[in-house]
Amino acid sequence: MKTLRERQQETGRTLSLNGAAWRRLRASVLEREPLCRDCWKRGRLTVATDLDHHDNDPRNNDPDNLVPLCAPCHSRKTQADMGKKVSAGCDANGQPLDPDHPWNTAR
């Protein structure tokens, strides 16, 4: 089993996810933007619990690079970034829940 430090070195992460520096950074970003950005794009108000690195670089901890997401949206984005097929489904009216679906993007 790998140690936390070994996993951090593999991913290139510069801040430990259970460290004080990350907790402070996470709190400040979530205080500034407390709602899940993807849900908000879909007209839903869901509290953000996670932060995602917009550029997928775990070393880039610039607050402008950290996107607040709820856990389900963060999981979907991570799986999609890993090349896996993900589906967000649709709401009760048949509208796609995926904010990047063509029906949900401005033309």
57 falls within a domain:
yes
Residue 103 domain flag: no
Instruction: Give the containing element (helix H, strand E) for 52.
Output: strand 50-53
Mean pLDDT of the chain: 84
Asked if residue 40 is part of any domain, the answer here is yes
* Residue pointed to by tokens 């690195």: 53
**How far apart are alpha carbons 20 and 8 in whole angstroms?**
15
**How confident is the model at residue 94, as a pLDDT?**
82
Residue 37 domain-assigned?
Answer: yes
Task: Please count the structural domains in the chain.
Answer: 1
Which domain, by its residues, includes 43? 4-82
pTM of the model: 0.71
| High-pLDDT (> 70) share of the chain, % | 84
Q: What is the pLDDT of residues 55-94, one digit of tens each?
A: 988 889 999 999 999 999 999 888 888 888 877 777 788 8
Collect all residues with Cβ–Cβ distance below 8 Å to 81 and sequence separation of at least 6: 56
Give the per-residue pLDDT at 58.
Answer: 85
Residue 34 in domain:
yes
More confident residue, 6 or 74: 74
